[in-house]
Structure 1
Amino acid sequence: MGGAALTMVSASALAAPRSAVGTGLEAEAIRAIGVETARTAYEGRPALRALALENAPGLDRLVVLDTPAFGDGVIEAWISGAPSATASATARGFVGVAFRVRDEDRLEAIYLRPTNGRADDQLRRNHAVQYISHPDHTWERLRAEAPAKYETYVDLVPGRWTHVRIVVKGSKAQLHVDGAEQPTLIVGDLKHGADAKGAVALWIGPGTLAHFSGARVTS
């Protein structure tokens, strides 16, 4: 994947919203879009608390990391999501990672639906992990045009820390969950193409209270 350019955003760094954060290389900024952020401690980790704002414009709620343009590489983070106190009955605690982000509304993302992980209904369980490519390929379109291709099951618990590792190369992305050697989800046709580049961001869905810690980007 070329020369190793590493950006490490520590747990304490991610807990410093809209200000300088230490990456191990230099001070970097994070920028919240449609999200209210705060520094906190959560489940034994210093973390960034991110609450999705109601009625936020656009498809995506993001915390954008000020790292070099990302094309191919590896993104790792500890993430946790649960429905917020004011969430609707359809909220699932949506939380994940976006990559190759451009213009705030052009991105690829892989996210979790934590309340689906141990649902009593098998169909809901099968929707625990989701790939999207905005603005054109929403989850609704992908599910309608290619059922089961861009989503799958993984064991999840709302509010619990989950480690995600996303490996991106060309038009392919793989998601590894909680240290698993084998990928949980394989996307072989990233919709923005093999040469797309952009920012890396933490992704939050509507009606979600999320926490993030220990983000690491290698390219």
Structure 2
Amino acid sequence: MKSLVTLFLIYLFACQASAQTVRPDLHSPDIWNVTNRKTEIITESGKKVLRVNEAVNDGLVTLKDHSFVNGTIEFDVKGRNVLQKSFVGVAFHVQDAKHYEVVYFRPFNFMNPDTARRLRAVQYVSMPDYPWEKLRADTPGKYEKRVNPVPDAEDWFHAKIIVNGKSVKVFVNNATDPCLEVERLGTLASGNIALWTGNSSNGSFANLEITPARE
């Protein structure tokens, strides 16, 4: 009986360890690889913030030595209310600068008076085979949705991404219902995690947390 209890405790400890939350230090430049961007370390309202500059084409700030398969990614992010100049999110299953999946937001569409634009506030893509242009043309409205609740386009908001097998769910500001729920595309199964900014976009990130799923 004691041996069974011991085995159970070992199993329970292993499960808890496998689901331990990682909180990377955004102020430790040595743990990040920066691609096509420059970064600035600041403190804002008590938050350790990593600010990413604006540049042509997409940029990634990739966490070194951390492989992600399934689990939960949470972060605070701030973009700007400038049309076509604010694409901010987190990439996962990153292989390199061309192969990854990403969930990103378009803050300039959050409260846009154009109804069609409001329906394009959060987006999932799988690069390079499933960019937003292809998804919008082939399956309009499936991989991009409006955000609910609607954040201030110029302020910080909290995002949570849950990756579970072929499923991706996205939540904003601690909502109980996802604003986006889609089936993953492509064949990527694991890889790194990166802070992501789109073409001609800057962005600020804070409070990144990664909790792997229990296997």
State the TM-score bracket (shorter-chain normalisation). 0.7 to 0.9
- State TM-score, norm by structure 1: 0.83
Residue 87 of structure 2 contacts residue 105 of structure 2 at CA under 8 Å; is this kept in 1? yes
Higher helix share: 2
Q: Are 1:192 and 2:183 an aligned pair?
A: no
Find the partner of 1:98 among 91, 96, 108.
Answer: 91
Q: Distance in 2 between matches of 1:118 and 1:43?
A: 25
Distance 1:92 1:119 in 2: 14
Q: Is the 8 A contact 1:34 1:52 kept in 2?
A: no
Contact 1:70 1:200 in 2 (8 A): yes
2:79 aligned partner: 81
Give 1:44 shift: 4.8
Query: For residue 40 of structure 2, what is the amino acid of its counterpart?
Result: A
**1:140 paired to 2:133:** yes
Would the aligned equivalents of 1:92 and 1:114 in 2 still touch at CA under 8 Å? no
Counterpart contact for 2:47–2:206, Cα < 8 Å: yes
1:180 is the counterpart of 2:175: yes
Q: Deviations over 1:170-219 (max 9, x none)?
A: 1111001100111110012x1134x7000011110122221000101111
Specify which structure has the higher proportion of strand: 1
Counterpart CA distance in 1 for 2:65 and 2:209 is: 10
**Matched residue, 1:163:** 158
Report the CA distance between 1:156 and its aligned residue. Answer: 3.2
Gaps of 5+ in 1: 20-28, 84-88
- 1:206 corresponding residue in structure 2: 199
The Cα RMSD (Å) is 1.7
User: 1:115, 1:156 within 8 Å by CA — same for their partners in 2?
Assistant: no
Poorly superposed stretches of 4+, deviation over 2 Å:
41-46, 156-159
> Which structure has the greater CA radius of gyration?
2
Q: What is the alpha-carbon distance in structure 1 between the residues aligned to residue 140 and residue 86 of structure 2?
A: 22
- Aligned counterpart, 2:35: 33
Size of the aligned set, in residue pairs, is 194
